[in-house]
Chain A
C-alpha cells in the first residue's frame, strides 16, 4: 500500500514494482497513475479551455445582450430567445438543416459501407485504381465541391441538363427549385464525404477476425448473411463514429452551400450556420447570433446523446 501511495503522489512509475496478479488489482493500480496522463493531455486541455469553454461562456453571456461587437453590451434578458422563437427565417433554416441531415447521413452511410465492402472483397478486380478514384473527391474542398457540382448541374449550361434535353426531356430547374437545389447539395455532400467514412469502414472490416467468416461459411452462410451477421455487428463501434461524425459534419455544413447555391434560390436553402453567420457578421447582431448558436448547440448535444444512448443499448463500447 505504501508503494502504491507513493506512486500516486510523486513518482507514478514506481508503482510498477508491485506485481499485480489478478485483473482486479491491476485496474485499481492503474488508477493511481495520475500525473503522466495529465501531462499528456495538457496541450489539448489548454486549447479546449481557450477555444471551446471561453467562447461558449461568453457566447452564453452575450446571448442575453444586444451586443454588436463594438461598444458596451446591454443586458436585455431573454429577449433574443423570445425573438428567435418568433422568427420564421430561423425555423426555416432549422428545418432545412434537419432535412439536409436526414437525407445525407443515411445515404452517405449506405454508400460508403457498400463501397468499403467492395473494396475489401476478394472478388472485385481493379481495386487499386478504384481506390484512387474513390478517394479523389475527399481531396476536394467543400468550396470546390460546390463549384464542381454547380458546373455539372447548371440550369442553362450544365452537362446534366444538356443530357436530359438531348434525350428529349425538359431542362430541370436544378437551381431555381429549392428542393431540387437541395438534392444537388445532398449528392455533392455524399460524394465529398464518402471517402472518409469508407476509410474508417475498410479499416474496421479488415480487423474482423478471418476465423469468424470461416466459421460462418462452414455453417453455409452466403455473402449477404456474412455481411449482416458478421461484418455489421463487428464494426458497430465504427458505424457509430461514422454516423456521429457525418451527422455533425452535415449539421454544420456551410462552405458547400456558399459555393453551390449560396443558400438559394433566395434564402430557401439557408442552413443554420449560414443564418448565424449572416446575423452575426453581416448584420452585426452578435447577441442574437449567439442565442441562435446556443439553440444549434443544444440540438447537436441532444442528437449526440441520443446516438450515445442507442449505441450503448446496442452493446458496443
Chain B
C-alpha cells in the first residue's frame, strides 16, 4: 500500500506501477486519469471565469468609441484602434500622475519592508511584556484602518504639515499589520536554535538580526515588497484625503475623476484604466515566481 500512497502524492505512476498486477495497475491508472481530468477541468473553468471580466474590458478598450455600445456586441473589436488610449493620455496629466504614483509606491515599499521585518522579528523571537502590548497594538491597527478614522486622521496630517504633500501619503502607510504579521509568522518558523547558536558564538542581538535573519527573510521581503507596491499603487482613499493639488494626484484619483463625471466617457475611461494597470502587470510578470513561488516558511526545515 505504501507504493500506492506514493503514487497518490507524487504521481510517480510509471516507476511504481511496474510492480503491480495488471488489474490493479489499470484500476489505478484510470483513477489517475479521472483525477487529472476533473482537477484540470475545474481549474480551467475557474481560470476562464476569473479571466473573463478583464479580458472583455481590455478587448473593449481597443474598440473605437462609436462601436462600444453598438449592438450586437462582439467579443473582438471589428476594427482595432488605440484612440481610447491616445485620448486618455492627452486629456489628462497622465505622465505627472504616473510619476507621483511611482514615487509614493517605491518609497513607501522600501520603508514598509524595513519596518515590518524588524518588528516581525522582534515579535517572533523575543518575549516580554512590551512586545505583547505592541503585538496587540499591531493587531489593533488592522481594526483601526485609516478608513475608520477618516476625519481625525485628516486632522493629524494637517497638524503635522503633511497636507497636500506626497509625504502625507507615504509616512502614514509605512506601518502595515499584514507586513508585520507576515514577517512574524516567518520568523516563528526559524528555529530558536539558530539564534541560540549565534548567541553562543558571541553575536550581538542586532547583528544576529541584520546578518542572519535579514538574509534569511529575503523571500518574504520580496513578497511584501510586491504586495506593498501594489497596495500603494492602488490606494484611493488616503490620497483622496491628503492631496488637493491636481499636479500631485495619483493615478487612482485621476481615474475616479473620469468615473465621477456626469456622463462617463467610456472610451477614455477604458484606455486610462488599462494604462494604469500596465506597470503592475509588468512588475508581476517579472517577479511572479518570487510572489507565487516564495515559500513563505523558507529555510531550515529538514
- Chain A interface (Cβ within 8 Å of chain B)? 12-13, 15-16, 19, 26-27, 30-31, 33-41, 43-45, 47-48, 50-52, 54-56, 58-59, 62, 69, 111, 114-115, 118-119, 121-127, 129-144, 146-152, 156-157, 159, 162, 166, 191, 194, 196, 199-200, 202-203, 206-207, 210, 213-214, 217-218, 223, 237, 241, 244-245, 248, 252, 254-255, 258-259, 262, 273, 276-277, 280-281, 286, 289-290, 293, 296-297, 300-301, 304
Q: How many residue pairs bridge A and B at CB < 8 Å?
A: 335
**Interface hub of A26, A122, A156, A262 (most chain B Cβ within 10 A):** A122
> Are the CB atoms of A125 and B252 closer together than 8 Å?
no
**Chain B residue nearest to A129 in the complex (CB):** B47
**Chain B residue nearest to A54 in the complex (CB):** B156
Is B295 on the interface with A (CB-CB < 8 A)? yes
Is B215 on the interface with A (CB-CB < 8 A)? no
**Interface hub of A133, A138, A297 (most chain B Cβ within 10 A):** A133
Interface string of B238-278 (1 = CB under 8 A from A): 00010000000000100110011000001001100100110
Give A34 to B175 CA distance when docked, in angstroms.
Answer: 22
> Are the CB atoms of A241 and B152 closer together than 8 Å?
no
Is B79 on the interface with A (CB-CB < 8 A)? no
Give A52 to B147 CA distance when docked, in angstroms.
Answer: 11
> Are the CB atoms of A56 and B252 closer together than 8 Å?
no
Is B10 on the interface with A (CB-CB < 8 A)? yes
> Are the CB atoms of A286 and B144 closer together than 8 Å?
no
Give A141 to B146 CA distance when docked, in angstroms.
Answer: 17
> Are the CB atoms of B119 and A210 closer together than 8 Å?
no
Interface string of B284-298 (1 = CB under 8 A from A): 110010011011110
CB-defined contacts of A286 to chain B, threshold 8 Å: 151-152, 155
Partner of B199, one of A16, A132, A138, A191: A16
Count residues of B near A (Cβ-Cβ below 8 Å). Answer: 115
> Are the CB atoms of A123 and B153 closer together than 8 Å?
no
Query: In the complex, what's the smallest C-beta–C-beta distance from B88 to chain A, in angstroms?
Result: 12
CB-defined contacts of A255 to chain B, threshold 8 Å: 236-237, 252, 256
Contact A194 to B152, CB < 8 A, known contacts A122-B10, A151-B57: no
Is B299 on the interface with A (CB-CB < 8 A)? no
- Chain B interface (Cβ within 8 Å of chain A)? 1-2, 4-6, 8-11, 32, 35-36, 38-40, 42-44, 46-47, 50-51, 53-54, 56-57, 60, 68-69, 71-73, 114-116, 118-119, 121-123, 125-128, 130-131, 134, 137-156, 160, 171-172, 174-175, 178, 180-181, 185, 192, 196, 199-200, 202-206, 209, 227, 230, 233-234, 236-237, 241, 252, 255-256, 259-260, 266, 269-270, 273, 276-277, 280-281, 284-285, 288, 291-292, 294-297
Q: A48-B141, A134-B50, A273-B150 are in contact. List 12 more A-B contacts (CB 8 A).
A: A13-B202, A15-B199, A16-B199, A30-B126, A59-B149, A59-B152, A123-B35, A139-B284, A140-B54, A144-B273, A150-B259, A152-B57
> Are the CB atoms of A30 and B148 closer together than 8 Å?
no
Give A137 to B130 CA distance when docked, in angstroms.
Answer: 39
CB-defined contacts of B196 to chain A, threshold 8 Å: 16, 26
> Are the CB atoms of B142 and A304 closer together than 8 Å?
yes
**Chain A residue nearest to B178 in the complex (CB):** A245
> Are the CB atoms of A162 and B153 closer together than 8 Å?
no
Query: In the complex, what's the smallest C-beta–C-beta distance from A169 to chain B, in angstroms?
Result: 15
CB-defined contacts of A19 to chain B, threshold 8 Å: 200
Give A254 to B147 CA distance when docked, in angstroms.
Answer: 8
> Are the CB atoms of A191 and B50 closer together than 8 Å?
yes
**Interface hub of B114, B115, B119, B149 (most chain A Cβ within 10 A):** B149
Query: In the complex, what's the smallest C-beta–C-beta distance from B171 to chain A, in angstroms?
Result: 7
Give A289 to B151 CA distance when docked, in angstroms.
Answer: 7
Give A201 to B59 CA distance when docked, in angstroms.
Answer: 32
List 26 A–B pairs whose Cβ atoms lie within 8 Å, in order of A's numbering.
A13-B205, A37-B126, A40-B118, A43-B114, A44-B119, A44-B180, A45-B134, A47-B171, A48-B134, A50-B156, A115-B43, A123-B40, A126-B47, A133-B50, A135-B291, A136-B50, A142-B234, A148-B54, A152-B53, A194-B50, A217-B5, A255-B236, A276-B148, A281-B241, A286-B151, A300-B148
CB-defined contacts of A33 to chain B, threshold 8 Å: 126, 128, 205
6 closest cross-chain pairs (CB), A and B = A16-B199, A141-B234, A59-B152, A36-B205, A217-B5, A37-B122
